[in-house]
Structure 1
Amino acid sequence: MDTRTIIGRNLRRLRVAKGLSQERLALESGIDRAYVGRVERGSENVTVSTLEAFAKVLDVRVSALFRDIDPDEPAPLPLPAGRKVRPPN
């Protein structure tokens, strides 16, 4: 598995574990949402500054984005689609 794929899988795993959508991660890190998706798919070369921005929002060290991935480990499941239902006032 190449490094871009490893970073992308770890980014998605950490993002989903925190319950953040790609849009929320992008907004809080100051990165374009489409770019976040490309990073998660492993099709972007990310800069150290971008990795730092992601790590800060996810409250992890940058090194967590480089964690080795077991090739047999399934990809993280996506978050449920749609907006959260607000409780009535």
Structure 2
Amino acid sequence: MNDVQKLLGNKIRLMRIALGLSQEGLADATGLHRTYIGSIERGERNLSLKNIVIITRALSTTPSELFKDIE
């Protein structure tokens, strides 16, 4: 697994939890499947730009904020 994917997935998980959303809740808000959200959070997926925008909107943030501090 790619370290950047793991860092990004973990940040998405932390943001989701901070909003009180379950994986299913985030899936409903994005139109993505719950298992896909889980695989993103585990760092198993290489996200497309389209899905990054969809997820950040559902998390009330921006792509730039999502990538902040990820190197």
TM more than 0.5:
yes
Task: With the length of structure 2 as denominator, give the TM-score of the two structures.
Answer: 0.89
TM-score of the two chains, using structure 1 as the length reference: 0.72
Q: How many residues align?
A: 69
Partner of 2:64: 63
Structure with bigger helix share is 2
CA distance in 1, matches of 2:68, 2:24: 23
Q: What's the secondary structure of 2:36's corresponding residue?
A: helix
Q: Which amino acid aligns with 1:30?
A: G
Distance in 1 (alpha carbons) for counterparts of 2:7 and 2:64: 11
Pair 1:46 & 2:47 matched: yes
Aligned counterparts of 1:64 and 1:37: Cα–Cα separation in 2: 21
Which deviations, in whole Å up to 9, do the C-alpha atoms of 1:29-75 show, x marking residues without a partner? 01010000000000111101111011001110112222326xxxxxx
Contact 1:6 1:68 in 2 (8 A): no
% identical aligned pairs = 38
Runs of at least 4 residues off by over 6 Å? none
Give the letter for the 2:62 counterpart: R
The equivalent residue for 1:3 is: 4
CA contact (8 A) 1:6 1:67 kept: no
1:3 positional shift: 1.1
